Each structure stands twice: as structure tokens, then as C-alpha cells.
Structure 1
Amino acid sequence: MMASSTAAREPHPGDDSPYDVEAIRADFPIFGTQVHGQPLIYLDSGASAQKPRAVIDAMRLMYEGEYANVHRGAYWLSERSTTRYEEARQTVRGFINAARSEEVVFTMGATDAINLVAYSFGRGLLQAGDEIIISALEHHSNIVPWQILRDERGIVLKVCPITDAGDLDLGALETLLGPRTKLVAMAHTSNVLGTILPVETIIKMAHGVGARVLLDGCQAVVHTAVDVQALDVDFYAFSGHKLYGPTGIGVLYAKHELLEAMPPFRGGGDMIASVSFEHSVWAEPPAKFEAGTPPIVQAVGLASAIDYVSAIGLARIARHEADLLNYATQKMTVLPGLTIHGTSTRKAAVISFTMDCAHPHDMATLLDRSGVCIRVGHHCAQPLMARLGVSATARASFALYNTRADVDAFVKALEKVRAFFA
């Protein structure tokens, strides 16, 4: 395996040593790429992050020397593959501080994880008239499954508003909560505004009326340490590809007693204890929710990604990204005709914005000519766009490998946009 940089190899989480971003960038092969003859400036990690060589190599070596199907083979290669797969589950358990590995379910992604909860918890344990509360800043994956459940089962779906700054209206949430509330499902961090929701308060408020809480953690686990036991959250979902890991894998954390009570989401191999034509007995969690051949190599890649960010240190990454957020905000605020959407004081390294001179899609096209990659559109959050009074925004999302020089190149490209439409 090709050696990665010192920054990625030597664990020093949370210390005060200098953040060597150039050494980290050297771990990502894609930054040798040029776009239209320009150095790549990748500011779309909120959609999907780039992959370090450690992840690429871990997956390649798994395919080349340790791959077989898991759990059912009686030969060394299958046993080795099974060990690697279950070690990946243990890595995730430690990363989010779950009480036991059986509380970690591997899924196809965060969307799949939320749909699992909607199908199994929602259809299995909720009744007509029960209430689910979401927020006005949710991703479609945390809206549509509950709408389907509402239409099928008569569940009441309520929406908690946000403030003009993009913060959750806690007073409104208190009013919405009641004895029929069974689930509060919200983003930990907004994928559009970057707002970090006060999840500790939300969980306590929901538990106060006997409701369960699901957090969409896709944008949060990348930027901050998550401790599901300290939060006392009931469900926590996140994806691998935003966490510098592969696509095709996600995680659902759920308290063990909930997984035991919930019916399976899919039927098939590996999720059963026994099957006859008359009756089937389900396996114990998490196997009950992992029907068929699981994402074996993807799990190994996700574990490698977790090891990678953990070695750098989430606290150090957070400080670096906070610096980039502040620096970019200062640079963008002085640009004429530019509006930043989402001005919470508790914010991850995400900036959504519009310019009065150009549509976001035109902006992205022109920025691409300068090698700058941003995301534009409704960001799978159309109700939030309606709340903001826009049809679309442009979004720059910063990651552990970005630099102030990236910000400077981005702002210079925005100035070219204004000059082009002047």
C-alpha cells in the first residue's frame, strides 16, 4: 500500500499542533487534476467528498486479496472478509460511541437509513393520528418518507419553522410537541444553510413528551465529533461518501431496544434465523436489517475513512474549517450584489448564496472555467428554497483539504462572474 502523509498516519486528535493542509492534500490523488487548464478548486464536499489514497488502497487491497461473501462461508477467505466487515462495524461504533456494535446497521446510504426508519418504525409501531415533527430546513430524504407514511397510514406531519437567520424556532417546536408526538426527525446540520441545530435541546424537549428522535447526521459527522450516547438520540443516520469514504454505504444507529421491536425492512438472505413455507424467524439486530449481500468492500472503505479523519483529529479539522468559513464569509460579504443565505452563529463550513447579476447555474458554469467546483440548484431542499424566497442558490462547502488560497481563487472567479454580466 502506498504510504500516506504524516498528517494522516500519526494520531494527534484535538491537539494544538500546526494543521498541515498541504500534507493532507497530498493524500488525495484527485488534487493532481486540472480543470480547463486550471488547478482544481473543489468546493462541493457537502454533496460528496473526495477520497484519500488510504481509502482507495484499502478497497483495492480488499478486492485484490481478501474478498469473498461474508457470514456464510466456511473457508478462510470468507472468514477473513467477514472479520474485516465486522471490524468496520466496530470502527463505526467507536466513531459515534454507540453502546454496542449491534446498534450499527449498514445501509446503502443515509437516505436508505431514513427510509428504513420510516418503513420499519413508522409502519410497524405508529398508528393513524400519531404525529411526526420535521423542520423547514430538511433535505428531501427527511421529508418525502414521512409524507409517504402520512398518506398511507394517516400519520400527522408537522413542520417546525426557522428564523430569518436560519435557526430552528425552538418556541414553535415547544408549541408543536404534544402527547401524540411520536417522532421528531431533523437534520443535525443543514446541508443548505450550514446551521447546526441545538440537537441536545431538541432531544430533551422531544423526550419530555415521550417522543423518539431521529437525526440526519450527514453534514454533522464530517465536521464534529458525535456521541450518540451523550446525546441520548434514538436514531442517527449518515452516509459514507460525505465522510471521505465510498458511495453505496451509509449507517443507521438505533438504540438496541428499538431495533429489537422494529420489523424488518427487507426480506431475504442473512436477515433470518430460520425459514419454512409456513413461517420465518428473524435474525437478531443488526442482521435483521441487512438482507442479502451487504456492501462489504464499501464498509472497509468507510472504516478506513473514519480512521483517516480520526488520525488527523476532528477538533483540528473543525478549527481549520471554521477558519475557512470565517475567511470566505468576510471575502464574500464585501462583493456587491451577493447575498449569503444562512447567517446563524452556529454554523458548519457551508455558504449558500445568490448574486443579483446571475442565476446560480450561470455562475457555476463560469466558475467551472476557472477550475472552481460549487453546487447550484435547490439542493434537495425545495421547501427551504420557498422559505428563503429563491428558486435556487449557489453553495460552496469547505472540507479538511481546502485552503485560504482556494477561497481566494473562488472569490476571484466570482468577481469574473460580475464582470462578465456587467
Structure 2
Amino acid sequence: MIKRRLSSIHGHLNDDDGEAAVVRGPNQPFLIEQIRVDPPQKMEVRIKILYTSICHTDLSAWKGENEAQQAFPRILGHEAVGVVESVGEGVRELKEGDHVVPIFNGECGECVYCKSQGTNLCETFRVNPLKSVMQNDGKSRFSTKDGHPIFHFLNTSTFTEYSVLDSACLVKLHIHPDASTLKNMTLLSCGVSTGVGAAWNVANVQPGSSVAIFGLGAVGLAASQGARARGASKIIGVDRNPDKFLIGKTMGMTDFINPKDSPKPVHERVREMTNGGVDHSFECVGDAGVLREAFLSTHDGWGKTIIIGVHPSPQTLPLHPMELFDGRSIIGTTFGGYKGKTQLPDLAKACMRGVLNLEGLISHELPMENINEAFQLLKDGKALRCLLHV
């Protein structure tokens, strides 16, 4: 397991200390390496990672599926919970010892985007797969023992003992969780916030409404929990892996469709089950064909499709403009529409009250040294979220 070099989480890190799971090229195994982690500069924070988990976005970056993600060597990872080790000049809202959740879609609070109620993007710190260095000086805070840079990932880089982030990309947890609850907060960095937020903030699911969720990974299951919490009467889960149906039931799903069970298109089956189509569909796969089925599964006149899955293919939307004249709509969402620093603390409190089941989404727990095994579990479809102990 990655060594803990501090006598306590409130200690200070030597500039040349730290271990991380470093990947040196697409599809290359992760290597646990000794690295340098520089002190935080102006408006930056250095944190000790306590727990981190693996998302399909990490898997896609590891595979090199997107040319924008080709900066190597790199420290991947963007779901985590940690504690502040030190802060740079100008940081006021965070202090040493604070429990924090990294967010890949930051919030500076000052730009025209952050001040707008119409978006959760930030002008400077929005999600950007092209970005592999810090905003302050265009350099990395990670390096090998002999001084060669190791690149950042999605404003976060959490597969490491220590990480340096812009303060705009950290959310303070205004709660006092015990150890078992704290590790569950890891999922607020991406999966749960994205899925639940899509149901609450983007679709605005109402009591008695109907929902179809395409792709029953952690994000799709989180969307189901969000729809259930809002009182949806029918939640249809669509997936080619029937093993996911059992956990889908625990997350609020009422019906299931396996596309392999019938030659009839999924959207026709959904329409038959719902007298014309669902009110909301969620595409959580990142596949153009699945997106079209999700779109056609909604009811004409008012049906709304929310795109959550990341689409690495250059293929454009599989829609004809005239299909939108029937009243159906389609929209994409980043981070479930949440303004991270402003709104995520309330979601954390809802989780503490038991509104959402985070623990049920953690299918495996492993030490960081077993990260390659964890990636294989996700790649094989055997894991929802694998929590890594740092």
C-alpha cells in the first residue's frame, strides 16, 4: 500500500516526498512510483488523498481513446476525498485539516459563468481534457525524482498520495463524517453528483413521472436514485448485462430491458411499456446508437433526453432536425448541473441524511497498489466503483 509518510494527516509533506500510481502511456500498466509533489502556489491547495475511486472517464483516458488526453506520463483519477495539507497564498476558504472533495468542473465564483444561474461551467476551471498543467504558471506540480514532469488530469489527479489543485476545484465538506461515511463521499467528485444532478437539476424529475436509464453503471444507478427520490413512478433500466438488474432494483428501478433479449428496438419496447414513451431518458453510455434509442424512447410533445455519457467518437448527433419539431428535446450535462463549491455541500448533507445510498455503489475496495486489478475489474464490467485506499 502507498506509504503514509506523515505522523498524522495534519503534518507537513517534504517537497520530495510522495508516491503515486503513474501511467506512462496508453494501455500501459500503472506503476507505483516515488514522486516529487511541489508546494502549492498562489490560490492552490495541497491535499492528502484518503480514498479515491475509478470512473469510466479514467478508463477512457488510460486507453487513450481521446487524442485530447494524450499527455503522458500522467497521474489519472478524479474521484476522491482528502484532507488539506497546506494552502498557497490567497486561499481563504480552506485551511489545514479541512476534509475536501476534488471536483473536475471547478467554480471560481468570480467569472461571468459562475455568476450566471444558467450554467455550472466556469470560465477558467471548467472541465478541460486538454489541460495537463496548473493554471497559475502552466507547469506541473508533479515530477519524477530526477526532475521530469508528470502531468495532471482533469483539474484533479487523485491516484496519488498527495495532489496539488487549484482552490476552485476543491469543495469543503461542512460535515463531520465518521470513517465509513467519509470514504463514501469520494463518489461526490463525479459519479453520484453527475447522475443525481442530471435527475434533479437538468431533468427536474417530478412525482409520478416516467424515466428510462440507458447504461447501469454507477452514474446510471445514481440517476435512478435521484429519480426515485423525486417520486418517479416508473424507472426503466436498459443494459446488456442482466447482472446489473438486481442492484438496479435496490436503486429504485421498477422495470428492465436487455437489448439482446429481443430484435425489437428498445425504444419500441419502452413506448409499449409507457403508453407512448417516458418523460425523461438518460443516456449514460457514450454511444451514438444508444443515444438515438434514448431519444426515441421519450414521449413526443414533451420528452427530454439528457446526455451524460462521454462520446469519444467524432460521430455527430444521430438526429434529423425535423425530429425536434415533435416536441422532444435533448441536452447534455456536465457534473449534473451542479455548481460544485456552492451546491455540493448540500448534496453531501442529503447523503448524510440517507436520501441517497452511496455505499451501495461501491462494489470493491482495494489498496492503491492493486490499481491495475481495479482497472481490470472495471474494464471487464465487474465493478461499479472500486474504492482505492491510499
TM over 0.5: no
Structure ranking higher in strand proportion:
2
Normalised TM-score (structure 1): 0.33
Normalised TM-score (structure 2): 0.35
Structure whose CA Rg is larger: 1
**Higher relative contact order by CA 8 Å / sep ≥ 6: 1 or 2?**
1
